[in-house]
Structure 1
Amino acid sequence: MSPTPRQGWGARLKAQFATPASVTLLLLGFGSGLPYLLIGYTLSIWLREAGWALGPIGLVSYIGLLYQFKFLWAPWLDSRRPPWLGRLGRRRGWMLGAQMCLVVGLAAIGWVGPQHSVPLFLALVTLTALAGATQDVMVDAYRIEIGPEAAQGALAATNTLGYRLGLICGGALTLYVASASSWRVGYGLMAGLMLVPLLTTLRAREPELTESRLSSPESARGLLKAFSAFFRRCGVALGLGLLAFVGLFKLPDQMLGVIAGPFYLDCGFSPKDIATVSKLYGVWITIGGAFIGGAAIAVWRMSSALVVAALALALSNLLYILMSVYPGQLWSFILTISGDNFSQGFSATVLVAFMSSLTDRRYTATQYALLSSLAFLPGKLVGGVAGYMVQAWGYTPFFVLSTLSIAPTLLVLAWMWPRLVRTDQAGQA
């Protein structure tokens, strides 16, 4: 039973967060976050230590574009059960298959390494990224289908918590283990930790909505059907505006993603220092920001939360200039990570809840995969050449540019503002 307004915000938040689905999403989020840094941020530090230049490291990051193009195979996943694992259902079956591939892929990446067979190493990274992206498609669809729309803010927050815990392991823990032992041991340990979400998938229940759609001819119509349904629901002009806004929202953050790890090394910090400040302390700051973002969704209008999230995400990049002026100073590192990670956590939860509200539940996996892919695609494309930009200009001009890159997002938001406010008012009526 939903809490009434008289029960207050505390009861309302408790009713949304204290559910079995939240625990499941916490552990599945852990599985989504664990491999992400291992094919991106953490991998860039490994490559930098192995003697790779910033330019090639940025180009390797384009492998992560598989996460941005996952909407291309999402309709196929959305329309059928997987072979051999179909008895688990569509969502759980594909999740389990992807998680099994991640266990094998991460172990193989650590075993081969980037020094001996570069083509084989990059092929393994590519296959692991493909499995991680497939897992994300199913986890996102599962989250949307397992709970009502009113619970999406809480489910997004708990999913983000699990995701950030996975990032701690894929970032800080891997760096600690690599410093104490070897990269092979670090990646092998992460392969073992992927068993946690794998077992969660085995014990979770399949969403009823998924099973009721399995024999529907609508589910096999694919990407074009999902596209047309989105534009019928929103209208062509607003639909294009929404897609542009989602695509541009994370641009300031994603521009820094590839060079952040090498930047910390260039500032004089060791991998162990980076692990402690950026991926251990910083992740907890991100988690705090994520839960405050979830609370903001519950008590603010969505339009207001989007404005705050967009500005925070961009302005926090200016802190990196402070860090470049005071290299090797622990206080500047901590201050930069505090502001940047808090804004990341807050904005991520707000954006996830916003994208969930745009998703038609007849095409959950496909539409959400499209939206979440767009949320990272422009930044990934620019971030892939960020190393060459830094080599040409230096760090400080690049950080200024990344901050100013929020301007197109704010212009699209201003154009959509009257429509968003009307939607907020209709939702509160």
Structure 2
Amino acid sequence: MADRKTIDVLRSAFTNRKTGVMLVFGMASGLPYALLLGTLYAWLGETGVDLETMGVFSLIGLAYAFKFLWSPLVDRGRVPFLWRLGRRRSWLVPIQALVGTVLIVLASLDPVTSLGMFSLLAGIAAFASATQDIAIDAWRVEVADEDAPLELLSSIYQLGYRLAALAGGALALIMAARIGWPLVYGLFGGFMYLAMAASWFAPDTAADEPLAGTDDTPGHGLARSVRLTVLALVGALWGWALVTVLVFMVRSLGSDAAARPDATAFIKLYGPLIVIATVVVPAVLAGILDGWRRTGRYPPAPGDAAARGFLDHAYDALIDPLSELVSRLGWAAILVLAIVLTYRLTDSIWGPFALPFYLQELHYTNDEVAIASKFFGVGMTMGGIALAALLFAWLGRMPTVILGAVLAAASNLLYADLAQGGAGLDAFGRLSGFTWAVGQFGADPRLARLLLAIAGENLAGGIAGAAFVAYLSGITAKSHAAVQYALLSSLTVLVGSLGRAALGQMIEEGGYARVFYTTAALGLVAVVLCVIEAMRQARAGRRTAEASVG
């Protein structure tokens, strides 16, 4: 039975139009991120731009961390003249055209003589790319059905994203050595136009068609004055957060290096405050409002059923997504939030320290690291994503999520062994034949040890990444997919950023091995939380089935 189901999943992957579009969307999402927050530094370094200035460009990554701040606009806003294309296509078509155009314009500029315009355009592209991610994530949740299940779409999205990361990273470096950076960025800008063409023909819901689960009852069971009071408070908090981030980015991209703020200090101080202001406080208020609605407190007045104005639609866009989530999950919303904060913690805080670990701590060469990490590692990640798609069919969503958490935590033990000399990796490599196999391609036992550790970590990361995307997509409601998914996924990015300073200090004080044991222990927290969540979902499924029979 499992084999038949797997065959059906694979057949769907190759025949359903949605899965093909999802692959293109995954590549369109991963390519700008790789080009703007990775490969761009190689181009700037070759042109002689100093390291301090290059550090400024890393700040455009804040657009991805705080994209949820403008997700309500993407969720409910109508793009002039294009909204008839569909709820998500009307955003994707112009945004992808903008990203492609900016990449082509960047290709025509000299980073040295036009650094100000170069940085401005890079910031615009990052903002547009983050906006594209909001629309793509919402599209994935909304179009999922039996022929293109959410788990399959999530795996294919991850596969496309990783392919684009490989193209925008290693392949871009190889191409630039032969044809130059301007032509590389121009060609990748052209790819974004191809993605725009795919968006034009992608299936979508009409912009004026209510999504499943949308509450169209005027007043939403509460007096209009109560709703607008809460809207004013939450709107002020979100407005403060958005202005704070924008001001920081503008100051950081200024020409006066002495006046630029410290990015680490900003994230450490304002990151938690922004999360509290935009997530914690609104979630508490949403819970209070839901309690009032259920008990009939502050009922809507007869006049509340009249035609709704701008503020009522603003309430739908800003308050309703959190209110729906809290109402649907209840106290389980705390459990979901805990999983979001811990599931990919080991990966998100470790990433920036990988190259110093390989190069300075273990003294591997640049070529060895490039082969092991950028080519072999990416291939293993794709293998993990493909395996996750099969696991979804064999085991189901939550068992795969739990397995992903277990493997992600265990993979840190491989690096702990690597940091302590790799005795365990060497023994496994000899017994399994891995060391002999890679030796046929010229790898010595020392490089085989690194390849084995990277193989385990990337395979686990591919499974965990696909599982996490599927889990987040399943938690979000189709009626509020854009805001809810952007909010939950942004928290993952923020918590990783907040933990890096502490991790760097821990490495300085206790070495890398201690850090890997610590992150493995942190990963076990996610495992326990996922097991509890699986039990909760199973109970909820049984209650729903019993209610249906009754």
Corresponding residue number in structure 1 for 2:467: 350
Larger radius of gyration: 2
Between 1:172-181 and 1:134-143, the stretch displaced more is 172-181
| Compared CA separation, residues 402 and 30, structure 1 to 2 (3 A) | same
Instruction: State the partner residue of 2:174.
Output: 176
Q: Specify the alignment match of 1:140 in structure 2.
A: 137
Query: For structure 2, which runs of at least 5 residues remain unmatched after alignment?
Result: 217-307, 423-443
Structure 2 counterpart of 1:152, which letter?
L
How has the CA–CA distance of structure 1 residues 326 and 424 changed in structure 2, closer, same or farther, with 3 Å as cutoff?
Answer: farther
More displaced 10-residue stretch of structure 1: 71-80 or 403-412: 403-412
* Aligned match of 1:260: 354
Report the more deviating stretch, 308-317 or 6-15: 6-15
Q: Could you give the per-residue CA deviations for residues 127-164 of structure 1, whole angstroms, max 9, x where no partner exists?
A: 22211111111111111112226711111122222112
1:240 aligns with 2:334: yes
Equivalents in 2 of 1:300, 1:253: separation in Å?
Answer: 24
Q: TM-score, normalised to structure 2's length?
A: 0.67
Q: CA RMSD in A?
A: 3.6
Q: Which has the higher contact order (CA 8 A, sep 6+)?
A: 1
**Which moved further from structure 2: 62-71 or 181-190?**
181-190
Q: 1:16 to 1:375 in 2, by over 3 A?
A: farther
Cα distance per residue 1:110-138 (max 9 Å; x no partner)? 55576666655443333222111111111
**CA positional deviation for 1:425:** 5.6
Separation (CA, whole Å) in 2 of partners of 1:6 and 1:330: 38
What stretches of structure 1 of length at least 5 have no aligned partner? none
Residue in 2 aligned with 1:160? Answer: 158
Matches of residues 8-407 of structure 1 in structure 2 within 5 Å? Answer: 8-14=4-10, 16-17=12-13, 18-43=15-40, 61-109=58-106, 120-148=117-145, 151-207=149-205, 210-213=207-210, 221-235=316-330, 237-261=331-355, 263-264=357-358, 266=360, 267-270=363-366, 274-321=369-416, 329-383=446-500, 394-407=511-524
Please say which of residues 361-370 and 119-128 is displaced more in the overlay: 119-128
Pairwise CA distance, 1:52: 6.5
SS in 2 for 1:194: helix
Shift of 1:57: 7.3
Distance (whole Å) between structure 2 residues aligned to residue 52 and residue 396 of structure 1: 33
Counterpart CA distance in 2 for 1:264 and 1:180 is: 27
Q: Is the 8 A contact 1:247 1:376 kept in 2?
A: no
Q: Output one character per residue of 1:54-74: Cα deviation in whole Å (capped at 9) or x when no partner.
A: x99778545323223222211
2:350 is aligned with what amino acid? L
The one-letter amino acid paired with 2:394 is V
**For structure 1, which segment, 356-365 or 216-225, has the greater mean C-alpha deviation from structure 2 after superposition?**
216-225
Rounded to whole Å, the distance in 2 between the matches of 1:387 and 1:168 is: 27
Does the C-alpha gap of structure 1 residues 393 and 191 become closer, same or farther in structure 2, counting only changes over 3 Å?
farther
Counterparts of 1:225 and 1:69, CA distance in 2: 19
Residues 282-332 of structure 1: CA distance to partner in whole angstroms, max 9, x if unpaired? 223212211211222222143322221112123223434455567995323
Q: Per the alignment, do residues 380 and 43 of structure 1 end up closer, same or farther by CA in structure 2, a change over 3 Å counting?
A: farther
Instruction: Tell me if the contact between 2:151 and 2:397 (Cα under 8 Å) persists in the aligned partners.
Output: no
2:406 and 2:524 in contact (8 A); partners too: no
Does the Cα contact within 8 Å between 2:87 and 2:205 map onto a contact in 1? no
Question: Is the alpha carbon distance of 1:71 and 1:288 closer, same or farther for their aligned partners in structure 2, counting shifts above 3 Å?
Answer: same
Amino acid across the alignment from 2:159? L
Number of positions where the alignment pairs a residue of Structure 1 with one of Structure 2: 421
Q: 1:213 to 1:334 in 2, by over 3 A?
A: same
Counterpart residue identity of residue 204, structure 2:
E
The structural deviation recorded for 1:251 is 0.8
CA distance in 1, matches of 2:3, 2:402: 29
Work out the CA distance in 1 between the residues paired with 2:545 and 2:83: 40
Give 1:226 deviation, angstroms. 0.3
- 1:222-273 Cα distance to aligned partner (Å, 9 max, x none): 12110000010010x2112101211221111111222334555544433x65
The answer on whether the counterparts of 1:65 and 1:380 sit within 8 Å (CA) in structure 2 is no
What's the secondary structure of 1:213's corresponding residue? coil
Residues 1:376 and 1:16: Cα distance change in structure 2 (over 3 Å): farther
Conserved 8 A contact 2:44-2:111? yes
Moved more, 20-29 or 184-193: 184-193
AA aligned to 1:269 is T
- How far does residue 384 in structure 1 lie from its aligned partner after superposition? 6.8
Residue 265 to residue 94, structure 1, CA distance change in 2 (3 Å):
farther
Query: Match of 1:200, as an amino acid?
Result: A
Identity among equivalent positions (%) equals 32
Secondary structure, aligned partner of 2:149? helix
Q: What SS is found at the alignment partner of 1:39?
A: helix
Q: Distance in 2 between matches of 1:137 and 1:126?
A: 17
